[in-house]
Amino acid sequence: MGGSFSSRPPPPSPLLSAPWRRINWSDNHSTLQYVKAYQPETEDQVIRILLHGLVGSGKSSFINSVESVLRNRMCIPALVGNATQDCFTREVNPNAKISKDDRFYKPTPSANDKVHVLVFVIDANKWSLMNEKALEALDDIRDEAKLLDIPQVAILTKIDEVCPEIQKDIKNVYKSKELKEKMEKVSGAVGVPMNCIFPVKNYSKELDLDSDTDALILSALKPILDFGNDHLNKRYA
């Protein structure tokens, strides 16, 4: 038998050799305690977090996932859509601002009534399919937030569908080259810095909680609370 072996180099790995962001996978306890123990500085304060994003991006699922992690059991307080039905969470419509006659309209909102952190929920896999019109509508919301100095965070959902390596093991999240590239593109396109973008896998089909999934959800929830709290107390930079 003869023949020569090809000297073609092996294909590059889809994973980086080391994660580019640290997550404490083995110990959720301290972050869980931190977010559970969070109390606004004064009793009358409430952090208002506004989630916005396209229908099907995973807003309801994120709310449910957070609730599930905090209660240590699967919860479905917000109705989740599926491929055929849509929209149970409402989106802010910048073209239909709250009217003065609306019973929720407050002519002089206090600091407590305002939004303290804006969370842009983005489906990691549909990002490139978002059309210009949809992006423009979301731009309006974000521009308004910028004017009001409201901190902005982006949550990249459905990372389990981004690449087989993450599907196999969610701990590959910060090693996946593909996801990092997606995050960089999102950051550039929506103007949210990388350190304010958090990839998550929401609970969607499973029956039991998983500590790695929890860890990632908590790693997104903690800064959302911190930024909201800073804004509520005007301590942001």
Q: Which residues bind to Mg ion, rule: CB under 5 A?
A: 59-60, 88-89
- Determine which residue in the list 89, 172, 219, 229 makes contact with ligand GDP, applying CB under 6 A: 89
Site string for ligand GDP, 202-231 (x = CB under 6 A): x-x---------------------------
At 204, list the tokens.
């969607």
| Beta carbons of 137 and 53 less than 8 angstroms apart | no
CB of 75 to ligand GDP, least distance (A): 13
Residue 55 binding target from ligand GDP, Mg ion, none, CB below 5 to 8 Å by type:
ligand GDP
Number of residues near ligand GDP (by CB under 6 A)? 21
Task: Closer to Mg ion by CB, 23 or 78: give it.
Answer: 78
Task: Closer to ligand GDP by CB, 157 or 172: give it.
Answer: 157
Neighbours of 225 (CB within 10 A): 17
Per rule CB under 6 A, is residue 31 in the interface with ligand GDP?
no
Q: What is d(CA 14, CA 166) in angstroms, rounded to the nearest whole number? A: 10
Residue 160 binding target from ligand GDP, Mg ion, none, CB below 5 to 8 Å by type:
ligand GDP
Burial class (CB in 10 A: 0-12, 13-18, 19+), 138: buried
- Determine which residue in the list 47, 52, 56, 198 makes contact with ligand GDP, applying CB under 6 A: 56
Neighbours of 139 (CB within 10 A): 14
DSSP 95-155: TSPPPTTSTT--SS--TTTS--EEEEEEETTTGGG--HHHHHHHHHHHHHHHHTT--EEEE
Contact positions vs ligand GDP (CB under 6 A): 53, 55-61, 80-82, 87, 89, 121, 157-158, 160-161, 201-202, 204
